[in-house]
Amino acid sequence: MKNLSIDPERLWDDLMETAKIGGTPKGGICRLTLTELDREVRDWFKTRATALGCTVTVDDMGNMFARSAGQRADIPPIGMGSHLDTQPTGGKFDGTLGVLAALEALRTLREAGYETFAPIEVINWTNEEGARFAPAMIASGVFAGVFTHDWAAARADRSGETFGAALEKIGYRGPEPCGQHKLSAFFELHIEQGPYLEAEGKDIGVVTGVQAMRWYEVTVTGQDTHAGTTPMPRRHDALLAAARLVQVVNAAACKHPGAVGTVGLLEVKPGAPNVVPGEVFFMIDMRDPDPAVLDNMENAIAATADKIAAELGVAIAIKNIWSQPPQPFDADCIAAVREAARVSDFTTRDMISGAGHDAAYVARVAPSAMIFVPCKDGISHNEAEYSSKEQCAAGAQVLLQAVLDYDRRLAERYGR
Ligand code: HGY
Ligand code: MN
Ligand code: MN
């Protein structure tokens, strides 16, 4: 098992080739979920998985499963994968590394003629980012029974197109009801998207869980009026109220060490330079390992919103649209990751993921764990996102070895 090694060049070539699908002039990727570009990269993935002898199935949320047979067809597969959709100014590695490294691990097994005990599946989860259809991780959420299929399919983007219609349009709504696909375990390789592995000079993050996170939709309603003729005391300025609330979100997060709070999407109506804004829509993203901290932040924001509304004569509606509790990973899967890093002579650090990942939902229905590799300056959700060929290869090697280690554990459990 130890002598099985992934091919760093082949993995890097795949990363650079798929980076062209939605590639941006600044070297990033804009490949929003369920767009023509997403279809193109899905086709790319399906072609290569099929060429490897996999059978590719798709469920009715567009999740893709490329299965390679093992000795025991009656045992649910060990899954490994991530997502191929990106942020609007995404990088080459967020999500894509996890899918392509899984493909490379499978290629390595097939080239070596190594037959696993359980089947192995490479998985591409739909809409992990939530950048087009909120919230994030919708499809793995349906897979885990957190969202219903109909609720997810009805989620609309800012233009009003629904998830279901967009999935149909790219031809990736599969026949398999999402959630019926059993897995023995799931492993996800991902860039850390934060600064700690690089700062501490560690090769591999052994991810023991994912922190809690919540999204809110906020609508501030004031009054459109003339910017030149309306005296300041007579205004009901929705953007002024929203700006104060953005400050409150920031202050609420800064009050709790380790918590984070962000307003990343904000729309102003009518959006004319000489009209006092009558309506503002924005979204809040708040996270912390402890949900009680998020409760505290939520209460502080709501209380201050009431004061701002009264003072400025606007209405403020705050709607929680997503609430993901902290998600611990499975001890056996974590042990498999740790053992894989050890046999591969990589240094490690245990960590909780600040970012959400599909593994956080899959962990509700199958034993799961994650592997992190460093990324330059901890930058992600940015076109400058970068992990080196060696770092990507290290992650893929640990992914391969972790899946093999878990496969051995399964064989012992089933008494091979
Ligand atoms: O939002 C997240 O943490 C992930 O990148 N979707
Ligand atoms: Mn990701
Ligand atoms: Mn992301």
Confidence at 3, pLDDT banded by 50, 70, 90: confident
Whether residue 317 sits in one domain with residue 180: no
- pLDDT band, very low/low/confident/very high, at 54 (cuts 50, 70, 90): very high
Question: How many angstroms is it from 269 CA to the middle of ligand 3?
Answer: 28
Instruction: Give ligand 1 pocket residues (Cβ under 6 A).
Output: 128-130, 136, 355-356
Q: Is the pLDDT of residue 34 over 90?
A: yes
Which ligand has an atom closest to residue 125 CA?
Answer: 2
In a domain, 3, yes or no: no
Q: Which domain range does residue 63 map to?
A: 8-211+326-414
Q: Average of pLDDT values for 50-76? A: 97
Residue 1 has pLDDT above 70, yes or no: no
Residue at 107 is within a domain? yes
User: Is 261 found in the same domain as 126?
Assistant: no
Report the percent of the chain where pLDDT is more than 70. 99
Atom of ligand 1 nearest to the CA of 380: 5
User: Does residue 14 carry a pLDDT above 70?
Assistant: yes
Which atom belonging to ligand 1 lies closest to the Cα atom of 285?
1
Say whether pLDDT at 416 is over 90: no
One domain, residues 333 and 197? yes
Asked whether residue 320 falls in the same domain as residue 383, the answer is no
* Residues 210-261 pLDDT 10s: 999 999 999 999 999 999 999 999 999 999 999 999 999 999 999 999 999 9
Q: What is the 3-state secondary structure (H, E, C) of the chain?
A: CCCCCCCHHHHHHHHHHHCCCCECCCCCECCCCCCHHHHHHHHHHHHHHHHCCCEEEEECCCCEEEEECCCCCCCCCEEEEECCCCCCCECCCCCHHHHHHHHHHHHHHHHCCCCCCCCEEEEECCCCCCCCCCCCCHHHHHHCCCCCHHHHHCCECCCCCEHHHHHHHCCCCCCECCCCCCCCEEEEEEECCCCHHHHHCCCEEEEEEECEEEEEEEEEECCCEECCCCCHHHCCCHHHHHHHHHHHHHHHHHCCCCCEEEEEEEEEECCCCCEECCEEEEEEEEEECCHHHHHHHHHHHHHHHHHHHHHHCCEEEEEEEEEECCEECCHHHHHHHHHHHHHCCCCEEEEEECCCCHHHHHCCCCCEEEEEECCHHHCCCCCCCCCCHHHHHHHHHHHHHHHHHHHHHHHHHHCC
Domain boundary among 261, 289, 324: 324
The pLDDT value recorded for residue 415 is 82
The pTM score is 0.96
The reply to whether 55 falls in a domain is yes
Is residue 39 a part of any domain in this protein? yes
Q: Which of 273, 298, 324 is the last residue of a domain?
A: 324
Percent of the chain with pLDDT over 90: 99
Residue at 2 is within a domain: no
Mean of pLDDT values over 271-284: 98
**One domain for residues 122 and 264:** no
Q: Whose CA is nearest to atom 6 of ligand 1?
A: 129
Q: Are 336 and 366 contained in the same domain?
A: yes
What is the average pLDDT across 51-65? Answer: 98
Q: Indicate the pLDDT class of residue 169, thresholds 50, 70 and 90.
A: very high
Q: What is the CATH number of the domain that holds 244?
A: 3.30.70.360
For residue 393, is it within any domain? yes
pLDDT tops 80 at residue 2: no
Separation of CA 47 and ligand 2 centre (Å): 23
Is the domain of 205 the same as that of 216? no
CATH code (residue 47): 3.40.630.10
116 CA to middle of ligand 3, Å? 31
Are 340 and 397 members of one domain?
Answer: yes
For a substitution probing ligand 1, which of 129, 207, 287 has the most ligand atoms within 8 Å of its CB?
A: 129
Instruction: Choose one of 273, 293, 324: the last residue of a domain.
Output: 324
Centre of ligand 2 from the C-alpha of residue 128, in Å: 7
Q: Check whether residue 158 and residue 228 sit in a common domain.
A: no
Q: How confident is the model at residue 96 (pLDDT cuts 50, 70, 90)?
A: very high
**What does the pLDDT read at residue 85?**
98
Q: Are residues 317 and 339 in the same domain?
A: no
| pLDDT tens by residue, 110-130 | 999 999 999 999 999 999 999
User: Based on the domain organization, do 196 and 49 belong to the same domain?
Assistant: yes
Residue 108 falls within a domain, yes or no?
Answer: yes
Establish if 1 belongs to a structural domain: no
* 268 and 167 within one domain: no
Structural domain count of the chain = 2
Ligand nearest to the CA of 353: 1
Whole-number Å distance, alpha carbon 30 to ligand 3 midpoint, is: 12
